[in-house]
Structure formats: C-alpha cells, structure tokens
Amino acid sequence: MTGPVPQQERSRLTRRRLLDAAVASLSEVGWAGTTVSVVAARAGVSRGASQHHFATREALFAATVDHIAELRLAELASPVTAPPAGSGRTEAVLGRMAAVYTGPLFRAALQIWAAAASDPVLRNQIVPLEAELGRLMHQHAVRLLGADEQQPGVREAVQASLDLARGLGLADILTDDSRRRAAVLRQWARTLDGVLAVRRD
C-alpha cells in the first residue's frame, strides 16, 4: 500500500502537467490561443495553482521552450528498431526523419518560432536550443544512414535530407500531405543512395 505523494513530488507533477498542456495547446490552437487559463484548464489545475508555478504567461512560455527542447531530444535519443537492410534502408531512415517534423512537438515548436520572430528575448532563448537540436539530429541521421562524411558531398547530402524532411513537415501543417511526402522521400532515397554509395542487396 502506497502512502501519500510528498508535496515536492506533487509540485513536480503539477508543473509537468502544465508544461505538457502548454505543448498540446500550442500544437492544436496556436500561440494566440494558448493562454494561462487555457493551459491550466487542460492540465486540470486551478489558475491560482498554475500561477504558483508560472507567475506570468512569459514565464510559462520560457519554461515551455525548454520543455519542448527536452522532449525533442528525448525523441531523438529514444531507442528504435534497426532500419531494414538493403534497398529499403535509406527510405526507411528518411521516413523516420520526416516523422520528427510532422508530430505535435514540431507543430508546437513552429508556433514558438513564429512568435520569436518578433520577440528578441524569446528568440535569444530558442536559437541556441535549435542549434543544439540541429546538431544532434544531423548526428542521428549520419548514424542511421551509415554515412561516411569524409567522402565529398556526403555531409551536404545528409543536411539536405534534414532540410527536405523539415520542409515536408511544414507542408503537412494545413493538410494531410502523407501521400505526396512518401513519394518525394522514395525518390530522394534513390538519389541519396547514389551519393552515399549504398550497396543495394
């Protein structure tokens, strides 16, 4: 039989619920619609309780930026099954890369990017986080593709793949672009195989 949850743990869980609610709200209703009241209601806590953790909307969003970065890093670091061998490997890896840019975390991040364009304080917070995420995403892609960046053009081709995946994610914001995305990734996989000198089994 478990005892009562300590106050410190309850506080941590409430804070986490508020941050998760902020991410979900940003993804679904955008920056303007994500108010402190909306986030508190989604988290199932009172406005007073939310203000205990985040006194202002600015404080809430500053913490949400860090939270999104942590979640996206965890998404990259999560263990995945090995991509298939042979001719389907590159396409499968590209599909994984594209998935990072089509989920709710990416949608929430986009809302913050848009707001940061006219908010220098927010921009200064997210630029280094995005640079670190970009670096780690590139390393992840190199590892999954088995790419040798010592070879001419390979580093640029891997980065182009990431840029393509991000662009396809943007195309998916307003409408379901999955069919076209699959066709584009299939064709790019053939091109990338040539650059990477992947041997087709």
Can you tell me the distance from the alpha carbon of 94 to that of 98, in angstroms, rounded to the nearest whole number? Answer: 6
- pLDDT tens for 71-105 read 887 776 665 556 666 668 899 889 988 888 888 88
DSSP 119-185: -HHHHHHHHHHHHHHHHHHHHHHHHHHT--TTSTTHHHHHHHHHHHHHHHHHHTTTS--HHHHHHHH
pLDDT for 199 equals: 43
- pLDDT tens for 170-186 read 998 888 889 999 999 99
* Token pair 């909307």: residue: 57
Angle CA 196–200–201, to nearest 5: 145
- pLDDT tens for 49-77 read 898 899 888 889 889 988 988 888 777 66
